[in-house]
Structure formats: C-alpha cells, structure tokens
C-alpha cells in the first residue's frame, strides 16, 4: 500500500499548524491592543474562514495563486515557482481554514489575563518583549495548546479547499482526504476504508495525547496550589 497520502497529510498538517500557531498568536496579541471599533472589524475578517465553506476559500485562493492570477503569475515568472498543483498548495489552504481556530482561542486566552500584570511589569521597567514571552505566553499555555490541537485536527481533515488547489496527483499531491474521495469515486471501497481507518487512528492518537498533556498540566497546577 502506497503510504504517500499519509506522509503528505501529516507533513501538510504539521507545517500548517506551525504557521497557524505563530501567525495566530501574533494576530491575537496584536488585536487585543487595538481600539474597540477596529478590533471588531479585524476580528470578523480574521474569523471569516471559519464560517465560509472551504470551497469558497478554495475559490478565492485560486483567484490569487493560479498561474494566471496575480500572485501565481508573479511567482512563476520571478522565481519559477508554482503555487498550485504542488504538495505545498495544500499548506496555503489548510493554514487559511485552520487559522481562525488558533486565533480565536489565543485571543480568548490573552483577554483573560489579568491586566494588572502587564501594568505592574511596565512600572518595573520590563519591556514589551519580556512581558509577552515571559509573562503573557506562559500564562496562556492551556488555551494555546487547545488552539493548536484544534488547528491541527482541522488541517488534517481539510478537503474542499485543498482539492481545488492541489488537484489529485498520486504520489505528489494526494492527501488522505482526497485519496479517500478518489478511491470511492473509482468504486474502490475496500482501499478507501483502509485509509479511513488510518485517518481515524491518527486523529484519535493525537487527541488522546493532547488530553494526557492537559491532564498532566492540570495535576501539576493542583499540586502547586496544595
């Protein structure tokens, strides 16, 4: 059995989760410091991919990174790099659709922080960078972990936008989700089911691992407060 879809799905999901983690936290932290009216507007825009059907996201992506579209044409001419029909096209799609999950969870975490900490730290002469990395982030660990799990799960399960930008090239761009679809279309239910089971096992493994981490974190906290 050709395991490329498994490798590709995992690689795409891990890369896009890493990207979402970084960009999501940066955006969430940035938004909390904006005036209220701007906050509302940006919040809606950044949460949009959560509400839009993935095919709509795929449509907008194609209009941007297709070889004849502005960004796609630029990369093709300037760097001879294709943005669609390659394995990393899926990374664009999955990052966009899973971004809101990380962003909203991170924002919730930041807003729950006690504002007195930042105020106090400022009067103590601590700079923004220190405050962010050593005071804010460590106190958001639980929330950020939850967001990462959600983002990873969403990335692993992405189909609609992915299939529109990567097509289905066995051995080059196939993911578990697109493979299952194609196998079902060709009437190969047996193989399709095998892939479904693999996907279930991975998803369960990831969720169980994260739950264990959360439990351990909770136990450590309980011990320290005893």
> Could you say whether residue 168 binds other proteins (CB under 8 A)?
yes
> Could you say whether residue 116 binds other proteins (CB under 8 A)?
yes
Segment contacting other proteins (CB under 8 A): 26-34, 91-99, 126-134, 146-154?
A: 126-134
> Could you say whether residue 120 binds other proteins (CB under 8 A)?
yes
> Could you say whether residue 145 binds other proteins (CB under 8 A)?
no
CA distance 64 to 25: 25
Query: Nearest distance from residue 36's CB to other proteins, in Å?
Result: 14
For 22-63, give the DSSP string.
HHHHHHHHHHHTS-HHHHHHHHHHHHHHHHS-HHHHHHHHHH
Residue 176 · residue 199 · CB < 8 Å: yes
> How far from each other are the two terminal CA atoms of the chain, in whole angstroms?
53
Angle of CA points 13, 18, 19, to nearest 5°: 100
The token pair at 81 is: 């790099």
C-beta of 134 vs 216, nearer to other proteins? 134
Considering only 22, 34, 119, 212, the residue that binds other proteins (CB under 8 A) is 119
Considering only 33, 37, 51, 125, the residue that binds other proteins (CB under 8 A) is 125
CA distance 146 to 124: 32
> Could you say whether residue 196 binds other proteins (CB under 8 A)?
no
**Which residues are at the interface with other proteins (CB under 8 A)?**
62, 66-69, 84-85, 114, 116-117, 119-127, 130, 134-135, 138-139, 167-173, 181-182, 185-187, 224-225
């Amino acid at each position: 059995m050709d395991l490329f879809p498994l490798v590709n799905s995992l690689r795409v999901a891990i890369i896009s989760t890493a990207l979402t983690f970084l960009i999501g936290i940066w955006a969430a932290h940035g938004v909390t410091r904006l005036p209220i009216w701007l906050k509302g507007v940006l919040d809606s825009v950044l949460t949009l991919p959560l509400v839009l059907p993935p095919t709509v996201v795929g449509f907008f992506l194609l209009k941007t990174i297709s070889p004849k579209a502005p960004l796609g044409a630029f990369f093709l001419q300037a760097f001879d790099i294709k943005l669609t029909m390659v394995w990393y096209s899926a990374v664009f799609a999955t990052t966009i659709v899973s971004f809101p999950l990380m962003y909203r969870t991170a924002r919730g975490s930041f807003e729950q922080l006690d504002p007195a900490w930042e105020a106090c730290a400022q009067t103590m002469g601590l700079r923004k960078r220190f405050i962010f990395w050593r005071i804010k982030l460590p106190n958001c660990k639980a929330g950020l972990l939850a967001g990462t799990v959600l983002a990873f799960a969403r990335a692993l399960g992405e189909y609609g936008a992915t299939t529109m930008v990567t097509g289905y090239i066995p051995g080059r761009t196939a993911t578990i989700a697109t493979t299952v679809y194609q196998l079902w279309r060709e009437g190969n239910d047996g193989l399709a089911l095998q892939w479904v089971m693999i996907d279930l096992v991975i998803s369960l493994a990831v969720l169980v691992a994260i739950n264990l981490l959360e439990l351990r974190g909770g136990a450590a906290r309980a011990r320290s407060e005893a």
